[in-house]
Amino acid sequence: MLEKEIEVLKALANGVNYFTGEKCEDDSVLNDINVVRTLYNVCDYLQNQPKNLKEKKDEFFCPDDILEKFEYENEMSLTGIIDKISKTYPELKKPKFSMITNALIEKEMLTKVMVNGSERTRATDSAKNFGIYNRQKTSIYGRPYLAVCYNQLGQKNVITLLKNLFSASK
């Protein structure tokens, strides 16, 4: 179900004209990082929809053993952390990216800035002690950009933040 639609969306997310198979021009809207992320998020959403009511996922809560079960990496994005949590606990819905980002903004670990007319998230100077930092990267199209990265300490702190958020909301 929806396999064809997901295939089209993935082609667009990869900057490919689905009908011709040709790469889109560099200045195409399909090469904008926000559009690419949105298309991949829609694909992920569609692929993770329960097939029927029996497969409906439980609301996210922070399991007691998450700090021990989480497989830490040297460096990850927040999306990577959320995806890894989701793979570790497939029966749970994913924690919301915006909820974590907003909590980190509230703790002054992240901030919003305007870059070329678009709002972007950046790590603050104080976030370095929290294991969160900005790293210069290059897109698949050769364009430089700043990415917010989380080292192992940052990953542990994000998970601890999740535990605190969900224990406070119970």
pLDDT at 54: 46
pLDDT at 42: 86
Q: Quick check: pTM over 0.85?
A: no
Task: Tell me the per-residue pLDDT of 20-60, one tens digit each, with 9 for 90 and over.
Answer: 778 877 777 877 788 888 888 888 888 777 665 445 565 67
The residues, ordered by sequence, that sit 6+ positions from 48 with a Cβ below 8 Å of its Cβ are: 94
User: For the chain, what are the domain ranges?
Assistant: 1-56, 58-170
Question: How many Cα atoms within 13 Å fall on the side-chain side of residue 169?
Answer: 11
The residues, ordered by sequence, that sit 6+ positions from 119 with a Cβ below 8 Å of its Cβ are: 112, 113
CB 2 within 8 A of CB 46: yes
pLDDT at 103: 94
User: How many C-beta atoms lie closer than 10 Å to residue 99's C-beta?
Assistant: 14
Task: Tell me the per-residue pLDDT of 56-91, one tens digit each, with 9 for 90 and over.
Answer: 565 677 788 888 889 999 999 999 999 999 888 888
